A and B are shown apart, each in its own frame.
With several copies, the nearest count.
Chain A
Amino acid sequence: MSIFINKDTKLVVQGITGRDGSFHTKQAIEYGTNVVAGVTPGKGRQTFEGAVPIFNNVYDAVAKTGANTSVIYVPPMGAADAIMEAVDAGIALVVCITEGVPVLDMTKVYPFVKERGARLVGPNCPGVISPAQAKVGIIPGRICIPGPVGVVSRSGTLTYEVVYQLTRAGIGQTTCVGIGGDPINGTNFIDCLSAFEKDPSTKAVALMGEIGGTDEQEAADFVKNHMTKPVVGFIAGQTAPPGRRMGHAGAIISGSAGTAAEKVEAFKAAGIGVAVRPMDFVELIRAKLH
């Protein structure tokens, strides 16, 4: 079992013929993901690598192939449009890898996706992988093995780091989700924690947060009140210099929230194990599993 993606995932790749899109599509196919379609306007009726049919738009891709999940590798100015297209075409899970999506675009995308009951992961995220089942996005397949740990993280490469260390220690994963670090993203920690709580295969969760915002504090509240499974957390940025504050407004809206110390406190108060170094996940998770 897993969350969000599995053996039944039928993936359409938006931007399949671009540099990143084509590279990672090959990797996804090699990993065994069921890539059923690609989309590049103007390249309809061609095929990708002689195997995956390309369509001019997501509607056609869904109509012809029954795709249920989409991954987006289009340039930042077109990413919001690509997300909305996928959702409009009936895709239930959209994973947007694109970095640099204007945040004001996302203020419209977010309600659009909610209105239609779809799920968006990202943008500016590494995607989702359910080891030995499917890989949607750019998380390297070889660093993962199947197993009992759910992984959720705001950052990309830090996720790889932790997953890689778990894997080297023989601790596999149900699903790893990179939710992305943009100000407005489609899926947050709580969405993932809630899904892991419901997934019978997941026995423990590893959560990687960062300084800034209050998502980690809210996640801690959720763990305290709604989770029965053990959670181990990490906060990156303990030594980061305070960012330049954004006007008076930035100070007013965030107040004193967002420091690493505050987040670590919230974790401790919620009974979340705290990893001081990324490598600490291994022992902490191992202890929770036994």
Chain B
Amino acid sequence: MNIHEYQAKELLHGFGVPIPNGKIATTPAEAEAIAKEFGVAVMVKAQVHAGGRGKAGGVKFCKTPADAREKATAILGMQIKGLTVEKVLVTVAADIGSEAYVGIIVDRQRKKPVFMVSAAGGIDIEQVAAQTPEKILYLPVDTRYGLRGYEAMRMGFFLYRDVKLAKQAAKIMQQLYSAFMASGCSLAEINPLVATPAGELIAVDGKMVIDDNELDRHAEIEALRDVSSEAASEVDARNCNLTFIKLDGNVGCVVNGAGLAMATMDLVKYYGGEPANFLDIGGSSNPEKVVNALRIITADANVKCILFNIFGGITRTDDVANGIVTATKANPLKVPIVIRLTGTNEEIAMKILTDNGFSASADMDEAVKKAVATAKGGKAA
């Protein structure tokens, strides 16, 4: 789960990380009032779940309150990577001496959270990584022992030669690590970590991504979710425990398991079709999930044919069959459906479908071919 910059910074601040003063505005007038209150130059920053805000014009420096109003007017309502900006963070503009990058992410290879720090911070950090990898220090943390003091100091000295700055940085590493672990993060970043000319460190931007699997333990984090900044169909799918990503094709796919879902999409493409979506109904199944999946897919007017590809393991195919029958009784389908079912309780599922006038096959290749043909203009039973 993504949270906004201002939320991430507040969380980090709760663990002691120094951040510039800031408040949220949803109107230009609010932005102006906040800038007036602060009485210094501010940044107005779009709060959306998308990278590259700065390059898209969503982050602006404002010398005066009137300036803040004007910039907020431009940014609020702006579209960034398909998402509408509904809030801006108005925050005191820091005096910038130098900018460092500090990130922590769970690394598959090392099977640990890994810190990445670089004195060459800012928006071009990926280029630094690609072109001058020696400018990045990678430091894996053994979570059994936590981040040890000497590791934090090592990062501090990698970023700053000055011992006072190095010690401040080491402290921030500990605070960032605590926030990362306590909030169940898969990613936390401070970029830039600014050293002011006065010798103070301050987190000018912050980003946190929460492991969805942790949310059951962290009601306070789940409460930070901002559904207004996500695509409605994806919010709907998530509320139904489905993984859904909208695409541009016309074959609506309902599959169980991410691997099989991807293989199904690959096969649709292989046979000349275009998938309309990725949709994984997941493991443990119930008929309700299928009803929701059909509702979400049929909301897409591009879909010309619906393809079910279900291979039952922990998913019971009879649950899926019951879901199809229930959903189509309540809302008769306007597009043809091709069903492929095999595995757990396959015989029961086939009987349910046949009894209700559906046909189904047990062969994936055959079903995909048929769905592609149907979407191109043919018709399924």
Contact = CB atoms under 8 A, between A and B. Distances in A.
Interface string A24-60: 1001000000000000011010000000000011110
B235 interface: no
Interface string B146-158: 0011100110010
B313 A41 contact: no
B154 A81 contact: no
Interface in B85-137: 101, 103-109, 111-114, 116, 125-126, 129-130, 136
Interface string A233-248: 0101111110001111
A256 B299 CA distance: 35
A253 interface: yes
B189 A161 contact: no
B58 interface: no
B213 A76 contact: yes
Contacts of A143: 342-343
Given A213-B108, A249-B116, A253-B107, A57 B184 contact: no
A3 to B, nearest CB: 20
Contacts of B189: 247-249
Nearest to B362: A164
A108 B144 contact: yes
Contacts of A234: 263
Given A77-B216, A108-B143, A56 B211 contact: no
Contacts of A245: 51
B144 A252 contact: no
A107 B143 CA distance: 6
A240 B126 contact: no
A88 B154 CA distance: 12
B275 A239 contact: yes
A156 B342 CA distance: 14
Interface in A208-260: 208, 210-211, 213-215, 234, 236-241, 245-253, 255
Nearest to A107: B143
B24 interface: no
A136 interface: no
Given A210-B259, A239-B275, A249 B216 contact: no
A205 B215 CA distance: 38
Contacts of B310: 157
Nearest to B364: A161
Q: How large is the interface on B (under 10, 10 to 19, 20 to 34, 35 or more residues)?
A: 35 or more
A154 B103 CA distance: 28
A58 B270 CA distance: 48
B334 interface: no
Interface string A112-128: 10000000000000100
A104 B183 CA distance: 10
A19 interface: yes
Contacts of A41: 153, 157, 163, 166-167
Contacts of B153: 41, 56-57
A20 B278 CA distance: 26
A13 to B, nearest CB: 14
Interface string A91-106: 0000001011111101
B15 to A, nearest CB: 16
A249 B23 CA distance: 27
Interface residues of A, number: 77
A169 to B, nearest CB: 13
A59 B257 contact: no
A112 B151 CA distance: 15
Given A108-B144, A158-B257, A140 B344 contact: yes
A66 interface: no
Contacts of A161: 260, 263, 311, 364
B136 A252 contact: yes
Interface string A143-178: 100000000011111111100100000000000000
A218 B280 CA distance: 27
A102 to B, nearest CB: 4
A277 B187 CA distance: 35
A99 B283 contact: yes
Most chain B CB neighbours (cut-off 10 Å) among A88, A102, A153 = A102
B18 to A, nearest CB: 21
Contacts of B111: 106-107, 110, 184
A248 B166 contact: no
A58 B153 CA distance: 11
Contacts of B213: 76, 100-103
A131 interface: no
Nearest to B248: A241
Nearest to B217: A77
B155 to A, nearest CB: 11
Contacts of A251: 126, 129
Nearest to B269: A239
A135 B207 CA distance: 44
Contacts of A154: 259
Contacts of A78: 149
Given A103-B106, A245-B51, A248-B125, A238 B260 contact: no
22 contacts: A24-B314, A58-B150, A81-B149, A104-B184, A111-B144, A140-B312, A157-B343, A158-B260, A159-B259, A160-B260, A181-B259, A183-B106, A213-B109, A236-B266, A238-B266, A239-B266, A239-B268, A246-B186, A248-B125, A252-B129, A277-B266, A278-B267
Given A107-B111, A157-B311, 7 more contacts: A59-B154, A78-B149, A103-B211, A138-B313, A181-B259, A245-B51, A248-B125
Interface of B: 51, 101, 103-109, 111-114, 116, 125-126, 129-130, 136, 142-145, 148-150, 153-154, 157, 163, 166-167, 181, 184-187, 189, 191, 207, 209, 211-214, 216-217, 245, 247, 255-260, 262-263, 265-270, 275, 278, 282-284, 310-315, 342-344, 364-365
